[in-house]
């Protein structure tokens, strides 16, 4: 029974880490795109939108950026 609790805790910890909010610099680093490129893709609805924070601060959900990266790395089917 203890191992189940440990496994549940590991899952919970992992999920909460994935839902962390990350700053633009981290998004740029993870994706390999500049700020301008990220905002252009957002304007075309091709990149996740950030969560508004207090003032002018914005942060992205780490899980959304990771999902976007997974989808982008898939080979595209020929047209």
CB 58, CB 17: distance < 8 Å:
no
For residue 14, being part of any structural domain is answered with no
Picking from 4, 19, 73, 76, the residue whose alpha carbon sits closest to that of residue 51 is 19
- What pLDDT score does 5 carry? 37
pTM of the complete model beyond 0.75: no
Please tell me the total count of domains within the chain.
Answer: 1
* pLDDT band at residue 50 using 50, 70 and 90 as cut-offs: very high
For residue 48, being part of any structural domain is answered with yes
Q: Go through the chain and tell me how many residues it has.
A: 79
- What pLDDT score does 66 carry? 94
Give residues with Cβ within 8 angstroms of 69, minimum separation 6.
Answer: 30, 31
For residue 36, being part of any structural domain is answered with yes
Picking from 52, 60, 48, 62, the residue whose alpha carbon sits closest to that of residue 17 is 62
């Amino acid at each position: 029974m203890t191992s189940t609790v440990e496994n549940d805790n590991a899952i919970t910890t992992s999920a909460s880490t994935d839902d962390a909010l990350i700053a633009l610099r981290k998004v740029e680093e993870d994706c390999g795109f500049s700020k301008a490129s990220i905002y252009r893709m957002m304007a075309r609805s091709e990149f996740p939108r950030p969560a508004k924070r207090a003032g002018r601060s914005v942060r992205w959900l780490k899980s959304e950026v990771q999902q976007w990266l997974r989808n982008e790395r898939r080979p595209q089917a020929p047209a």
